[in-house]
Amino acid sequence: IYSSEDLENLSNAIFEHTSYGKILFNQVINLTDDNNPTDGIINVDDYINLSFNRIEIDTAYLLNLNRSATLSISNLTYTNPRIAMNGQTCPSSICTKQSYSGGVLIFNVTHFTYYNAEESPSGGVTTAGGDSILSSPESNFDVDVENIEISLKQGKSTKKDVMIRLGEMVAELHD
């Protein structure tokens, strides 16, 4: 049994469903300050969702759980998982992958919303040092270009933006 003071200053708090995943808070959390602090009830079951390939906290209700944390998603079968946030690839400014081994993906997040994992596509656009690089599982592709004209004096160079479209995939290359 925890006192109110204990619940207001929980450090290294863990919420876990052993079959699906775990949340380890990296900061002290106050579990007593929800959206109705006067009712004396903290209902984490209704507002924390740890289910297959899903970790979510309703921070509209559990206000003080919108903190940085280390998340683990278990029982995955991906070859190369990537982290998704609200159904989109999570940016590295919010999600940082620590490891993936034995079907367990471990990553850090800066705040809470809905997170899951998905298989990384075998082709896609990757950013490296400011340039975009297009990779594709296709070994070749056709480029239909009407005109590319560049006039340069010998020994000079220039950079131009180019867009390559492969079906639904688009790569924009910028100088």
- Report how far residue 9's alpha carbon sits from residue 30's, in angstroms, rounded to the nearest whole number: 5
Residue 82: Cβ within 10 Å count: 18
Least confident piece of the model among 78-92, 109-123, 158-172: 158-172
pLDDT in tens, 98-114: 999 999 999 999 999 99
Q: Average pLDDT in the 68-80 region?
A: 96
Categorize the per-residue pLDDT at 161 as very low, low, confident or very high, splitting at 50, 70 and 90: low
pTM for the full model? 0.67
Please tell me which residue, 95 or 154, carries the higher pLDDT value: 95
